[in-house]
Structure 1
Amino acid sequence: MNLLENNKNLFKDIFIGAVLFSYLSKAAREIYIYGVAHSIRSVFKGFSRRALLLLTSLPWTKKQIDDELNSALSDLDSKMVIRDPSLPTHHKLPTIGHDKHSVHHQLSSLANIPHSRWEDGRVSGAVYYGDSGDINDVIIEAFSRFSVSNPLHPDVFPGIRAMEAQVVSMVLNMYNAPQDAAGTTTSGGTESILLACLAYRNWSRQTQGVSHPEMVVPETAHAAFSKASFYFGITLRRVPVDPHTRKASLKHVKRAINGNTCMLVASAPNFPDGNVDDIVEMGALAKRYKVGLHGRVVLAYTHSNSHSSVDCCLGSFIMPFLQSAGFATTPFDFRVNGVTSISCDTHKYGFAPKGSSVIMYANKTWRSFQYYSQPDWTGGVYASPTLAGSRPGALIAGTWAVLTHVGVDGYVRSCGEIVRARQRIQRAIETDYQADLAVMGQPLGSVVAFTSVNPALNIYTVGDLLHEKGFSLNAVANPPALHIACTRPTVAAVDDILSSLRWAVDQAKSRTFGKEDEGSMVALYGVGSSTAIGPDLVDYLARGFLDTMYVVS
């Protein structure tokens, strides 16, 4: 009996010790990566969040918060959902189909709904080539010829198979890929990133025996990496960037690497402020610790060889042509030792139709880890190269048509025009707004971001005032800032942008803004940074926004 009791106590002690060891080792790792001060702040923030969530669950406070959130969602609904009886609205299939003339008329009505004037260069990103007749013509021609095609059936649509292979080959060549390099087209930058993460996760599980893979991601890397973490069960190790250069902190990247790391992430450039991480040094870390590299650029981590991967979705057809267009550049492509994958959005500065991107790998072995195959399905052998099964062949044909139509000379010319537009905006901010605004880092490509250095100037108020003038710039956070991704339409609108920015800054400094005067940018990002549960409230509003996308007027 005593022996049994002693064994029970022993097992109890072992269990408690194992739990304590697990918590202490996690705490020690957090402190090692982020430092004592940051770790203490994180713990305090976590406790504050739990306390506030408990407080907001009380009946009176819950009702007050629910009323505020529902009011915000109602306001969002009124702005997003157009309730115009003159516009076509279908809640169910029409009993008798409409003739093509009626359909054309309805399409015209929907196309002419008032919108942000991207045609006039007043929108950041979104539409990259503008209303270019020739490019639209070749896309329409490609769509009309291949509207029913599907690369899932290469024997039925051999032309689509050939065009997809050629699109991948052209982009691989543009990024100086090695002889054995490979890739696939995807539906956009997010899918390209997801597939890279999936490939490295599968590689680490299947060849290295890693059951809990991790990726090291700078805080400026695209949100698609967080999405991949959520979808695929990859632990996200988020590391800070240098506050001045806006490049990933190599010290923190190094500390975050461990035996479970399957990839490192970097950007060329990042979305928030357009700066390029130090790909060469990231590649050196990948080599030293035998990890892979991928990102906007990303470095992927391996245990046996030096590998890395670069996500250049936003850099797309700008970064590869900087040098030819006469601008400074930095190493970022497959010539960097250790780079194993790169993602490139053809539907951004490649001017291809929306829903087009390419994920590239240094060899076919890496690509195979993103594939899915089920050889014993009752419906026959099933295999697909990307997340989707059926894919629109018309998009592939449209991409092929645009790439072959524009060519190297056209992309060099566009790169020159777009980057010079960014430089003009950047120089104006640096010289004319020194007391109020500051450019973040030293961008190389098409994006410039600026923040407020005047404590009395709310940068989001500037953004809301610009919206009043018909401009749509991107709000970014941590720190609060605005960014503009210059496009072909931006080129002719630089003077308009700068004069409107001058007006918005002057108005933001001279006017007194009450609660009722807050624009959507101030309201949303103000909530997000106001308390420890701010992100929870913004998450609720963001999900409400997504619901609004599917409301029929």
Structure 2
Amino acid sequence: MSKSPRLASQGLSHQDVLARMRAMRTEDARWQEGRTWSLVYNAGEDIRRVAAEAYTEFMSENGLSPLAFPSLRRFEAEVLAIAAELFHGPTAAGTMTSGGTESILMAVKTARDFARAERGISEPELVLPASVHPAFQKAAHYFGVKPINVPVGPDFRADVAAMRAAVGPRTVLVVGSAPSYPHGVMDPISELAAMAQEKGVLFHVDACLGGFLLPFAKRLGHGIPDFDFTVPGVTSLSADLHKYGYAAKGASIVLYRTPELRRHQFFTYAGWSGGIYASPSMAGTRPGGAIAAAWAILKYLGEEGYLRLARTVLDTSKALREGISAVPGLKLLGKPSLSIFAFTSDTLDIYALGDAMEARGWKLDRQMMPPALHLMVTPAHAAVVEPFLADLRACAASLASGEPAPDGSAAMYGMLGALPDPKDAEGFILQFMDGLYDVSEQE
């Protein structure tokens, strides 16, 4: 690539454009081969093709105006109705969003505005287990809500007693995860919701990751505790369709127990010369393709398809957890039973192990506090369980014998993990992000 990209005086041919794009992706994560353990929820080429065709069919439509595009309005309404039934919310109402972060932003904004209108709270607070997704920190930052971060228990689940102690007169929302992303464990949703209800506070279930897996895992006989609107005190819930719903990115839903609560999410403005402006969520323009593709995949898979995929994911996850636990020096964190989990070591440099695995083509996320490697399992991983475990055993044995790991991110993560205050790392992270977007430095 040129060091100074500019708009060319003449455009390229269709084929040249695509050829260049394909050449530029050669170093991308190889998710099609099942060698990437995050970011992409690959359920097979047939599902990808349905989502892609549905997306492109409605690529130009804009969900900002449901009056102009009644097809999108119907798609979204049916997606929300299916989600409300899955999560046992007969009176539930919500909207689709661009992803889990927007769903979380909307839940926090709604809680803030509800508390302002109904309880007169002008300095709102948000009570969070430390394991909760950082999107809640972002929402607090954007919307002027003070986050109260509560340490989790030794099992990595939200500590109900500590959360109770953190709730005060300015608390507008309490949050629990189903499950939490870092360790794949379910927070005690029923106990947290009961506590929030007792305190007169709204309670949100972040099921962005597990939402479209948990109902089907439960039907397959897995011991899934109640986590949705069957639990008294749960007032809102988020779940991502582009994760275990297998829809195209970006598609998520946020649901509220009642339409009255959802009204606090909407934004309306009647003082504009351009006409009445009404927006259901954060975005103005809402890509019609994402809405259409979510509807298409729900219709294509049906209950049978989701049960089949859930069985594959859960069986694969169990095999991986058992295989990892059998590797000398490695251990799981907490007691995960679903499709995401993390593992660490008391004897090996876990980040060096990650670098060694990456040198063999496996992309694993690194975690901190404590240092760990993280896996998110999809149906595509069923075919790579044995090759992955074989490489993991080999890499762990190599490190245990004293062989150095290939160069990678171990030094960086080791340095960040050694800082006494995580905030000390923020300057480094900002500088790193600046570098990512500096096109002049990219070859």
1:290-346 deviations in whole A, cap 9, x for unaligned?
Answer: 21111xxxxxxxxxxxxxxx1101102211111222322111111011111110000
2:20 to 92, 106, 111: 106
2:178–2:211: 8 Å Cα contact kept in structure 1? Answer: no
Change in Cα spacing, 1:519 to 1:534, as seen in structure 2 (3 Å) is farther
**Which structure has the larger Rg over C-alpha atoms?**
1
2:369–2:417: 8 Å Cα contact kept in structure 1? Answer: no
Q: 2:436: which partner in 1?
A: 549
Shift of 1:381: 1.4
2:163 to 253, 263, 267: 253
Q: 1:216: which partner in 2?
A: 127
2:89 to 152, 173, 177: 177
1:329–1:444: 8 Å Cα contact kept in structure 2? Answer: no
Residues of 1 paired with 2:89 and 2:211: CA distance? Answer: 15
Residues of 1 paired with 2:273 and 2:102: CA distance? Answer: 28
- Residues 23-422 of structure 1: pairs in structure 2 closer than 5 A: 91-111=5-25, 113-130=26-43, 132-178=44-90, 180-243=91-154, 245-294=155-204, 310-422=205-317
CA RMSD in angstroms comes to 1.8
Verify: 1:523 aligned to 2:433, yes or no. Answer: no
Residues of 2 paired with 1:281 and 1:144: CA distance? Answer: 44
Instruction: List runs of 5+ in structure 2 lacking aligned partners.
Output: none
Verify: 1:465 aligned to 2:356, yes or no. Answer: yes
The letter of the residue matching 1:353 is: A
Verify: 1:539 aligned to 2:426, yes or no. Answer: yes
Q: 1:484: which partner in 2?
A: 375
2:52–2:248: 8 Å Cα contact kept in structure 1? Answer: no
Give the total of aligned pairs.
440
Q: 1:446: which partner in 2?
A: 339
1:354-401 deviations in whole A, cap 9, x for unaligned?
Answer: 111111111111111111111112222111011110111111111111
Residues of 2 paired with 1:283 and 1:389: CA distance? Answer: 32
Shift of 1:534: 5.9
Residues of 1 paired with 2:438 and 2:88: CA distance? Answer: 46
Structure with the higher helix share, 1 or 2 = 1
2:76–2:96: 8 Å Cα contact kept in structure 1? Answer: yes
Q: Secondary structure at the match of 1:416?
A: helix
Shift of 1:90: 8.2
1:101-145 deviations in whole A, cap 9, x for unaligned?
Answer: 33333333334x233221222111221125x33223222322332
More displaced, 525-534 or 185-194?
Answer: 525-534
Residues of 2 paired with 1:91 and 1:468: CA distance? Answer: 31
Shift of 1:198: 0.6
Residues of 1 paired with 2:259 and 2:226: CA distance? Answer: 23
More displaced, 89-98 or 405-414?
Answer: 89-98
1:400-444 deviations in whole A, cap 9, x for unaligned?
Answer: 1111111111111111111111111112233x23x5122112213
Instruction: List runs of 5+ in structure 1 lacking aligned partners.
Output: 1-82, 295-309
The letter of the residue matching 1:443 is: P
2:55–2:248: 8 Å Cα contact kept in structure 1? Answer: no
The letter of the residue matching 2:16 is: S
1:496-527 deviations in whole A, cap 9, x for unaligned?
Answer: 111111112112222255xxx67443222222
The letter of the residue matching 1:542 is: I
1:244-279 deviations in whole A, cap 9, x for unaligned?
Answer: x22111111010011101111111000101000011
Residues of 1 paired with 2:49 and 2:321: CA distance? Answer: 34
Q: 2:329: which partner in 1?
A: 436
Shift of 1:529: 2.6
More displaced, 316-325 or 207-216?
Answer: 316-325
1:529–1:535: 8 Å Cα contact kept in structure 2? Answer: no
TM-score (norm 2): 0.95
Residues of 1 paired with 2:127 and 2:408: CA distance? Answer: 33
Change in Cα spacing, 1:503 to 1:102, as seen in structure 2 (3 Å) is same
Shift of 1:196: 0.3
Residues of 2 paired with 1:388 and 1:90: CA distance? Answer: 32
Shift of 1:532: 3.1
The letter of the residue matching 1:110 is: M
Change in Cα spacing, 1:534 to 1:183, as seen in structure 2 (3 Å) is closer
